[in-house]
Chains A and B, each alone.
Chain A
Amino acid sequence: MLKELITPNAANVFVGKLGDILIRAVGKPLEYAIDWGRLWSLWPVHIETACCSVEFGAASGPRFDVERFGIIEAFGSLRQCDLVVVQGTITRKMAPRLRMVYDQMPDPKYVIAMGACAITGGLYFDSYNVLPGIDGVIPVDVYIPGCPPRPETLIQGCILLQEKIKRMKVR
């Protein structure tokens, strides 16, 4: 009976099943650990093109202090960053530069579109030179509406992004 079972075919199936179980057992906690690590070390690139950047400045000041939530303020170079915060109007001239910034960053990378201008063009939606929303140029993870958004809204957006990262599949 047992001898009949141990054929090359069955052994293959057995090894495959074992692999699945192993991946389930190790992969999930590992994924959680990796996501957790990414979650608390978001290094942002600031695309400070307009007035929303003032609110970002306020948010990083002592009163609101986003550093509590793991969004570290200073950064060295684009290669160390994994978050683009677009704070303000993106013109058609700026759009290729924004894409270039995004392309220079290593994976994984996330994008926050802050303010009405970055989402839809905002006040300047019918201008000849303003991009109606940055999602035509780079993929956006979190939209933070407002003109400008209050620092609390920005913090809420960052927490939303962290929630999203928590549930992300690690590739």
Chain B
Amino acid sequence: MNTKKEDILDIAAYIRDELKFDHAESVAGVDYPSSKEIEVVYHLGSYTEPQLAKQILSLATRLPREDVPNPGEDRTRMTSLRDIFYSVEFHERECFEMFGVYFEGHPDNRRLLLPEDWADIPPLRKDFKIKGR
């Protein structure tokens, strides 16, 4: 399910309340350098509805991508879904540091996995170069 990033909060609330997908299993990022976009994909599942137990709904939205990323300061940002699906808290933190997607309204947007002294662009972007020996 693809949405605009402005509507994602309403759509997520609808999915949770009406479609009964009650938790997020993962938050993934996909980098599209040619179309200058970053896609954020939420994989949603359900614990409460037994017939939905094997289903996964993916909710995707696309954000503008900067050539020179400056995580937290640039246009690559969207509303956090943490108030709707509580479990996305750590996934969004990971997505923030791996793709530079800033989640507005996230209560704890700190570094999660990367080294403390990381001073490079977010490492899962396509234009990241490894340094080698």
A interface, CB within 8 angstroms of B: 91-93, 126-129, 132-133, 136
Contacts and interface: CB of A to CB of B under 8 A. Distances in A.
A129 B132 contact: no
Contacts of B116: 93
Nearest to A92: B115
Contacts, number: 18
Interface in B17-67: none
A136 B130 contact: no
A132 B132 CA distance: 7
A127 B123 CA distance: 9
Interface of B: 114-116, 123-124, 128, 130, 132-133
A47 B112 CA distance: 22
Main secondary structure of the interface of A (DSSP, over half): loop
A129 B133 contact: no
Contacts of A126: 130
B133 A136 contact: yes
Contact of B115 (A93, A132, A136): A93
Nearest to A128: B123
B133 A128 contact: no
B131 to A, nearest CB: 9
A91 B118 CA distance: 12
Nearest to A91: B115
B35 to A, nearest CB: 23
B133 A127 contact: no
B114 A93 contact: yes
Contact of A133 (B115, B124, B133): B133
A54 to B, nearest CB: 24
B130 A127 contact: yes
Given A127-B130, A132-B132, 13 more contacts: A91-B115, A92-B115, A93-B116, A126-B130, A128-B123, A128-B124, A128-B128, A128-B130, A129-B114, A129-B115, A129-B123, A132-B133, A136-B133
A129 B97 CA distance: 13
Contacts of A129: 114-115, 123
Contacts of A91: 115
Contacts of A127: 130
18 contacts: A91-B115, A92-B115, A93-B114, A93-B115, A93-B116, A126-B130, A127-B130, A128-B123, A128-B124, A128-B128, A128-B130, A129-B114, A129-B115, A129-B123, A132-B132, A132-B133, A133-B133, A136-B133
